[in-house]
């Protein structure tokens, strides 16, 4: 049995497994994150702001109502016919005018708050519509990712079965060398094409080529990888 050829097959399997494992990790990480978290957080902040505005409007409206009640009280007194003194009537009229004047900024403030409320409600409603659209798109995307993850896992399972079938044909001391080189260099086996090691680009001596062709485990004198001739 040509050991370098088996090692080369083992390396093809291992590289494909690395890629499939990396792909499944990447997909799992992507599935574990929520890309819409910032959008949801923004909506949460606007809802908090909406509550604050609603509270402020209630308090401001209560002030307006308070002025209105007091004005009403004075006016009732004014038109009741019970007060006949012109001086007292004039004072009452002045008080009514004064209270009306004091009420104006609160009325303006209520209008401002209502406008801000409407704008915030619109912002929230628009953001919720956009979020819903993004949630649907994300669900579709995640569905695709899950499909890709299943394929990568199935591929990995198949590669592991092929690897398990190959290993008994490779002497264990060669497996140890292979693993050490793989760890050290990423690729343990280097193809030789036109007499040159593809791993480092340096020519391999004819004697080494001869031995490798015969199926011996021979290493490139330059990069130390096990060489393989097709
Ligand atoms: Zn080399």
Ligand 1 centroid to Cα of residue 156, in Å, is: 29
CATH code for residues 20-168: 1.10.287.1700
- Output the pLDDT for position 177: 95
- Output the pLDDT for position 144: 98
Q: Is the pTM of this model over 0.85?
A: no
The pLDDT tens digits for 118-171 are: 999 999 999 999 999 999 999 999 999 999 999 999 999 999 999 999 999 999
- Output the pLDDT for position 230: 85
Ligand 1 centroid to Cα of residue 160, in Å, is: 28
Q: What is the mean pLDDT of the chain?
A: 96
- Which residues are placed with Cβ below 5 angstroms of ligand 1, an ion? 197, 199-200, 220, 222-223
The pLDDT tens digits for 177-208 are: 999 999 999 999 999 999 999 999 999 999 99
Ligand 1 centroid to Cα of residue 198, in Å, is: 7
Place of tokens 């209502």: 114
Instruction: Note the helical H segments in 167-205.
Output: 172-185
Ligand 1 centroid to Cα of residue 227, in Å, is: 8
Query: How do the domains of the chain map onto residue ranges?
Result: 20-168, 171-228
CA distance 190 to 199: 5
Does residue 1 carry a pLDDT above 80?
Answer: no
Q: Are 14 and 181 in contact (CB under 8 A)?
A: no
Query: Mean pLDDT, to the nearest integer, of 98-105?
Result: 98
Q: Which pair of structure tokens corresponds to residue 99?
A: 């209270």
């Amino acid at each position: 049995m040509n050991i370098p050829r088996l090692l080369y097959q083992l390396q093809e399997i291992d590289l494909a497994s690395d890629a499939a494992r990396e792909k499944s990790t990447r997909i799992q990480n992507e599935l574990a994150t929520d890309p819409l978290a910032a959008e949801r957080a923004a909506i949460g902040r606007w809802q908090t702001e909406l509550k604050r505005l609603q509270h402020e409007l209630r308090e401001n409206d209560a002030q307006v109502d308070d002025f209105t009640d007091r004005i009403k009280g004075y006016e009732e007194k004014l038109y009741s016919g019970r007060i006949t003194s012109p001086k007292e009537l004039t004072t009452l009229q002045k008080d009514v005018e004064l209270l009306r004047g004091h009420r104006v900024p609160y009325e303006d403030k209520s209008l401002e708050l209502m406008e801000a409320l409407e704008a915030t409600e619109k912002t929230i409603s628009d953001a919720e519509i956009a979020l819903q659209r993004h949630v649907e798109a994300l669900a579709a995307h995640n569905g695709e990712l899950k499909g890709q993850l299943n394929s990568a896992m199935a591929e990995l399972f198949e590669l592991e079965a092929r690897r398990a079938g190959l290993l008994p044909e490779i002497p264990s001391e060669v497996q140890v060398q292979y693993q050490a080189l793989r760890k050290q260099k990423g690729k343990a086996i280097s193809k030789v094409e036109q007499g040159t090691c593809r791993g480092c680009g340096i020519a391999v001596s004819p004697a080494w080529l001869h031995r490798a062709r015969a199926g011996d485990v021979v290493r490139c004198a330059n990069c130390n990888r096990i060489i393989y001739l097709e």
